[in-house]
Amino acid sequence: MKKRVCGSIGIVLLVLVTAVIGSALIVAVAQPPPIPEAYSGTAILEDDIPAQVGTPVTVEVYGTGEEVGNTIVSDASGSYSLLINFDVADTVEDEGADEGDPLTWKISGIECDVPSPGTDTAESGKINSDFLLVARDTTPPVVTNPGATPPSIPADGVTASRLNVTVTDESGVDVVVVIDLSAIGGSATEIMYYLGDNVYSTETTAAEGTTPGTYFLRVNATDINGNYNDTVGIALEVTAVTGDININEIMYNPSTGQGSDADMEWLELYNNDVVPINISGWTIDNNTIITEEAMQPGDYLVLVRNKTAFEGYYGALPCSVIEATFSLTNNPGDTIVLKDGAGVEIDNVTYIDDWGADGNGKTLELNETGGWEESLIDGGTPGEVNSVTDWNPWDDDCIITDPEISLAEYHWATSTPKNGHTITDAEISLLEYQWATGDVC
């Protein structure tokens, strides 16, 4: 009997222990996850500006970068609402914050100083109403990758270049990018439009009359908080509308009395355009003209092989004289080629000795029809109107120059009409007086 009683008690105890353990397991499995912590309030940026609709709001575990909640601003007053999820202790995954974790709040990636990082803590089930977030952005946008495509355009008001920059900003919203195009005839605050991937762009031309040269077109990128960056610019080269610079006069075979070819050969260029033309980098027969100056409308430029010898013979000229590397042969059919800095041919002349000026001290001059004639006076007319063109000795400047008096004396001595008029004895006497005294007409 006793043995049966003990056996029955053992069975009962085993059942009770099993039931208790089972209940504990059931309790452990059925334990609910932590209740999220709820936040709602207003997100404010610098100078009490509400964050715009769509601005991201995030919260991280302080010092770890682990994001445990995110949302976006929902209305124009900067309102937001957000839940912080918590880690479930009996799972391998990390579902969120741990109880008591210090937190860091951010508006559009900018750390908030209200609340200060690490001062707010995660508290499961807590409801936080009117929770104010304030982030102060003092960092200007970053502007990189300035570029112009193509990098060079003529000043014709038609040919366009695409201007691009890359702009990134800590706030990530509402960056306004403008560029100053006033130097080339455009707006000082031309809007650059967003193309995507942080690229801003606009298209521009260079107005007619823009002085040739390289322009630094300054970009200004301003964020929603008023931080701006105007330290970056886009380089754009503006070239002249080429084609109106002429080879105007050629001394290809000076006389023995004038000097050797190496000393006294020269060319004259003339700007027949209505705008200044920068001839920096231009070439004569593939030899670079060493100058950075712009030829103004109506300007002459004389290219010489030996400036000292040239000025010793001609004296000072009313135009620029530049020593350059070239050689003019005395052979029939020689061609002179003028090219711009891009290698585009601007003008060329193939001269022959039948035109004259072959060792007799005179030059070849371009006439009004585009043909070539021997100059009417010895030495030609460097820096002056060509002797073979229609000419008025009482020209606009009213100053009689050496070439002009020589030409007037030629027409007087030969009784050759000029502009339909034969110069009289009285007229040549007056011209010679004005030339000798520097008097004006």
What's the pLDDT score for residue 1? Answer: 38
Q: How does pLDDT run across 99-117, given as a tens digit for each residue?
A: 999 999 999 888 999 999 9
Q: What is the topology classification, in CATH, of domain 142-239? A: Immunoglobulin-like (2.60.40)
Q: What is the pTM of this model?
A: 0.46
Confidence of residue 122 (pLDDT cuts 50, 70, 90): very high
Distance between CA 239 and CA 206 in Å, rounded? 9
The closest alpha carbon to 346, from 248, 237, 213, 209, belongs to 248
317 burial class (0-12, 13-18, 19+ CB within 10 angstroms)? middle
CATH architecture of 37-134: Sandwich (2.60)
**pLDDT over 60 at 13, yes or no:** no
Q: How does pLDDT run across 142-166, given as a tens digit for each residue?
A: 999 999 999 999 887 888 999 999 9
When pLDDT is averaged across residues 53-79 and rounded to a whole number, the result is 94
Q: How does pLDDT run across 290-329, given as a tens digit for each residue?
A: 776 778 888 999 999 999 999 999 998 889 999 998 888 7
For residue 14, how many other CB atoms are within 10 A of its CB?
10
Query: Is domain 245-389 in CATH 2.40.10, yes or no?
Result: no
What's the pLDDT score for residue 431? Answer: 76
For residue 139, how many other CB atoms are within 10 A of its CB?
13
In sign, the C-alpha dihedral spanning 319, 325, 328, 333 is: negative
What's the pLDDT score for residue 398? Answer: 57
96 burial class (0-12, 13-18, 19+ CB within 10 angstroms)? buried
Domain extent listing, the chain: 37-134, 142-239, 245-389, 390-441
**Calculated CA dihedral for residues 119, 125, 129, 132, nearest 10 degrees:** 20
Beta bridge partners of residue 166, listed in sequence order: 144, 199
Distance between CA 192 and CA 222 in Å, rounded? 12
DSSP 71: E
Return the structure tokens found at 104. 């860091």
124 burial class (0-12, 13-18, 19+ CB within 10 angstroms)? middle
